[in-house]
Amino acid sequence: MIPEELVKKIRYIQIYTSKAVNDSLAGEYESVFKGRGMEFDEVREYRIGDEIRSIDWNVTARTGEPYVKRFVEERELTVIFLADLSASGHFGSRKHLKNEVAAELCALLSFSAIKNNDKVGLILFTDQVEMFIPPAKGTRHVLRLIRELLQFKPTGKQTDIGMAIDYLDRITHKKSVVFLVSDFIGHGFEKKLRVAGRRHDLIAVSITDPHEMRLPDVGLIHLEDAETGERILVDTGSASVRKQYEAYGRERRQALKSLFRSMGIDQIEIFTDGNYVFDLVRFFRTRERRGNVNM
């Protein structure tokens, strides 16, 4: 049995995200991930009734016989969420934890995907792969994904993005749209991320809590690393300590931006106190404009 509180949470997310899809994202998702129209299938000999404009003049010139290009409707997309459930995601200084924001974000994108008849799959990971739900269509499938994102209790605590990418490579046999949702508190994944970015349409979704960027002035506090258990005593009343902490947060944020940019990987930057619907719309529109410029 699913706890009543969880049922209410899932229902709330379904209503909220479905409304957001209809109000704000109805055409944005399709404009970015669709719109490639028809894809090339083969070249074959010309037959009476074929469209003259489809003649492949290069092949025709080489063979001396008329050939035409044949196109088929573009295949449906497969969207996979590679979601980080490590212990650092259980942090939240505002209304929602980072993991809760991740679940709502994945729900929003999932409903956008199925509205366009795409398949959606989910990989939950920590320092190991915790769960894999194969891509499928339909509202019931998306609701299952949301449920697992909200209630799943992972075995691991730490983060291994490289391992998760290796698993993605083993279970995918064609190019997919991959949303890597994480706070990216990890290391050693850069090389594998670059390779995955070449194979898939990979989008990095970085989720950050405001208190990871700046400390409140509340005196002496113990800070604990959720993934390692390490504890340190910090004097937040010290202006120099807060300044150093903010500088570290800015440097880490900029380092991630530079990393993704150097790999040609798009990033959606999400803060737990922000409006992620607005962030997604802005991302879609920016990417669509860039695509139009490159056409």
- Strand, coil or helix: 215: coil
| Residue among 168, 154, 167 nearest 227 (CA) | 154
Domain end (from 72, 88, 123): 72
Question: What pairs with residue 89 in β-bridges?
Answer: none
Please tell me the predicted confidence (pLDDT) of residue 71.
Answer: 65
Please tell me the predicted confidence (pLDDT) of residue 47.
Answer: 87
pLDDT along the chain (295 residues), means of 10: 75 80 75 62 82 86 88 73 93 85 91 89 97 94 91 93 96 92 92 95 95 91 87 93 94 95 95 90 86 52
Do 116 and 55 fall into the same domain? no
pTM: 0.82
Please tell me the predicted confidence (pLDDT) of residue 295.
Answer: 40
Domain that residue 180 falls in: 76-294
Question: Residue 121 domain-assigned?
Answer: yes
What radius of gyration, in Å, describes the C-alpha atoms of the chain? 23
Do 57 and 151 fall into the same domain? no
Would you mind telling me the total number of residues written for the chain in this entry?
Answer: 295
Please tell me the predicted confidence (pLDDT) of residue 237.
Answer: 93
| Residue among 148, 261, 253 nearest 209 (CA) | 253
**Which residues in 236-247 are b (16+ Cβ under 10 Å) and which e?**
beeeeebeebee
Task: Using the structure block, give the residue that is written with the tokens 């809760």.
Answer: 100
Please tell me the predicted confidence (pLDDT) of residue 38.
Answer: 57
Do 61 and 89 fall into the same domain? no
| Residue among 88, 113, 120, 122 nearest 207 (CA) | 88
Cβ atoms of 278 and 270 within 8 Å: the answer is no
